[in-house]
Amino acid sequence: MSYTEVPGVKVPIRMWTDPATVEGQAMQQLRNVSSLPWISGLAVMPDVHYGKGATVGSVIAMRGAVCPAAVGVDIGCGMSAVKTSLTARDLPDDLSRLRSKIEQAIPVGRGMHQEPVDPRDLHGFPTAGWGGFWERFEGLADAVRFRRERALSQMGTLGSGNHFIEFCLDESGSVWLMLHSGSRNIGKELAEHHMGVAQGLPHNQGLVDRDLAVFIADTPQMAAYREDLFWAQEYAKLNRAVMMALFQDVVRGEFRKARVTFDEVISCHHNYVAEESYGGVELLVTRKGAIRAGSGDMGIIPGSMGTGSYIVRGLGNPAAFNSASHGAGRKMSRNAAKKRFSTRDLEEQTKGVECRKDSGVVDEIPGAYKKIEKVIEQQSDLVEVVAKLKQVICVKG
């Protein structure tokens, strides 16, 4: 489909979904964002739903300003996936051992490594720049300086919520490894610190929503935020890279006879800020629950823990600021899902998947999410499908 424009707003709100299907709270958030003085454009993805300050599934382009809440608290959250030389025929009938090995290698939930991961111990991991990255920690906000050891120990860990590690099969039977995570606690603390700073600035007083407070270009506050933001985005990317290397080592160990090889890893942020130019105008583009889908860009759009996911290639649609959705998108809150569904429902909806099926992950049940097939269909002018995946193992925190 193409987009629908919402009438009666300051700047165009281009929506790759039917506005009538979006909950009222989310629509109000979109109108609030469109009223900001610095806004240049707003693209809304088909997985859109209510979030803090800005909706999840929105792409916000501003001139000379950026809104920390429009990035979200998990700075740099995103996806990584890689195709392997394994096929479905190589997999054992009982996948529980493989799931257990993954969970042993990669801490989940609030877990962290007892000793920080040394990248030199990871098979083929590029170590150039690792030391320089950690040296930059000393330049972060004072509020997080004491978190260095924790940040080191959480590098290469999953977290909880909708984060996951999956063993998937594509339609030809090839095995893929896929994971979803971000900047862990350090990203969250940096985000919350800067949101608080922004809300106290004079130019943000009187906004329709205090969570939409922004930093303005050429100010000390913006400079400090940019430094911390880009470091946290890099942390998130490295976190996924370390996890993927650990994941690959598990697979090498469990399938020694197969001599497993791996294609190039696909990796993409979906909560981040990028400096981009449209129509000759330099903009700060914030994607909160959206991936970059420039012409030829490879991306990952996951469903839920019992449904399919998609590897996609961007078509480069400037009307959407070269973006696409980041997933299926929730159709109900976590609390609503817990009230509506039971562990029996979870077992039924994740049949055939080796995964947790207890009350702790009922809020992640497939029924709490939109249909991923419909979401993909609604953005046919943004991406083309390269591969459709179905998980056989899903590790959750």
CA 64 to chain CA mean position, Å = 25
Contact 216, 203 (CB under 8 A): yes
Task: Clarify whether 326 is annotated catalytic.
Answer: yes
Quick one: angle between helices 184-199 and 220-254, nearest 10? 160
| End-to-end Cα separation, the chain, in angstroms | 35
CA distance 317 to 280: 16
Options 49, 193, 269, 326, the catalytic residue: 326
Contact 388, 375 (CB under 8 A): no
Segments in the chain forming alpha helices (H): 24-34, 96-105, 130-135, 148-154, 184-199, 220-254, 334-340, 343-349, 372-377
Residues annotated within the binding site for GMP are 162-166, 270-271, 302-305, 309, 326-329, 396
Residues annotated within the binding site are 74, 162-166, 180, 270-271, 302-305, 309, 326-329, 396
Contact 80, 238 (CB under 8 A): no
Which of 25, 26, 32 minimizes the C-alpha distance to 11?
Answer: 32
CA 221 to chain CA mean position, Å = 26
Catalytic residue annotation: 326
